[in-house]
Amino acid sequence: MLDQVYMQNYGPLQDLSWSGLGPINLVLGGNGTGKTFLLKALYTAIRTLEEYRRGDEQRTIAEILAQKLYWTFQCDKIGDLVTKGVDGSLSFSM
């Protein structure tokens, strides 16, 4: 179970800090506010950790994450996931 999530400059999510998460959480918002982006990001991170922790993986965690991001978001390049027009780099933790 996740306790907290922090994302900065990640697609439409310029600064998201979410703590005190429970076993069930609701994600509410209007169209284009980043709900699906958030859920895809969490899915990608969790699946990457699961795959890496199995121990039989030859790829690095960065390589696994890059592949998961590419296939989950169907982007031309990973850099497309960074928020455009803001200072700072992409940051993600959970």
What the block records as the tokens of 6 is: 């922090």
| Count of domains observed in the chain | 1
91 vs 17: CA distance, rounded Å: 11
The pLDDT assigned to 56 comes to 85
34 vs 4: CA distance, rounded Å: 17
The pLDDT assigned to 40 comes to 92
Helix (H) or strand (E) run with residue 51 in it = helix 35-53
Asked if residues 11 and 34 have their Cβ atoms less than 8 Å apart, the reply is yes
The pLDDT assigned to 73 comes to 87
Domain that holds residue 86: 4-93
The pLDDT assigned to 90 comes to 66
What the block records as the tokens of 2 is: 């996740």
The pLDDT assigned to 74 comes to 87
6 vs 21: CA distance, rounded Å: 12
46 vs 87: CA distance, rounded Å: 27
The tens digit of pLDDT for each residue in 26-81 reads 999 999 999 999 999 999 999 999 999 998 879 999 899 889 988 998 888 777 77
